[in-house]
Amino acid sequence: MNTLFMGKVLLRYNSLNSTNLEAQKLLSQENKPLEGTTLVADLQTDGKGQRGNAWDSPTGQNLLSSYILYPKHLLPKQQFMLNIISSLSVLDLLQELGLEGISIKWPNDIYIGNKKVAGILPQSNIASQNILSTVIGIGLNVNQKTFNPALPNPTSIFHEKNKKSKLDDILERLCFFLEARYLQSKSTSGITTLRKQYTNSLFRLDKVATYLIDGKHQAGIIQGIDANGKLILEMESHTRIFDLQELRFVV
Which CATH number is 222's domain given?
Answer: 2.30.30
Tens of pLDDT along 72-130? 999 999 999 999 999 999 999 999 999 999 999 999 999 999 999 999 999 999 998 89
**Across the beta sheet with 130-140, what order do the strands follow?**
10-16, 38-44, 63-69, 130-140, 115-127, 109-112, 102-105
Per the structure, the complete domain to which residue 168 belongs is given by 10-200
3 lies in a domain?
no
5 lies in a domain?
no
Residues 223 and 100 in one domain: no
Task: Transcribe 135-159 into DSSP letters.
Answer: EEEEEE--S-----TTSSSB--HHH
Residues 140 and 46 in one domain: yes
Model confidence pTM above 0.85: yes
Residues 66 and 127 in one domain: yes
Residues 146 and 223 in one domain: no
Residues 48 and 21 in one domain: yes
Tens of pLDDT along 2-46? 999 999 999 999 999 999 999 999 999 999 999 999 999 999 887
Q: For the chain, what is the domain count?
A: 2
Asked if pLDDT for residue 243 goes beyond 80, the answer is yes
146 lies in a domain?
yes
Instruction: Please report, for residues 9, 33, 172, 178, the alpha-carbon distance to residue 84 in angstroms, rounded to integers and kept in the order given.
Output: 23, 23, 20, 10
pLDDT score at 51: 47
- Cα-only R_g, the chain: 18
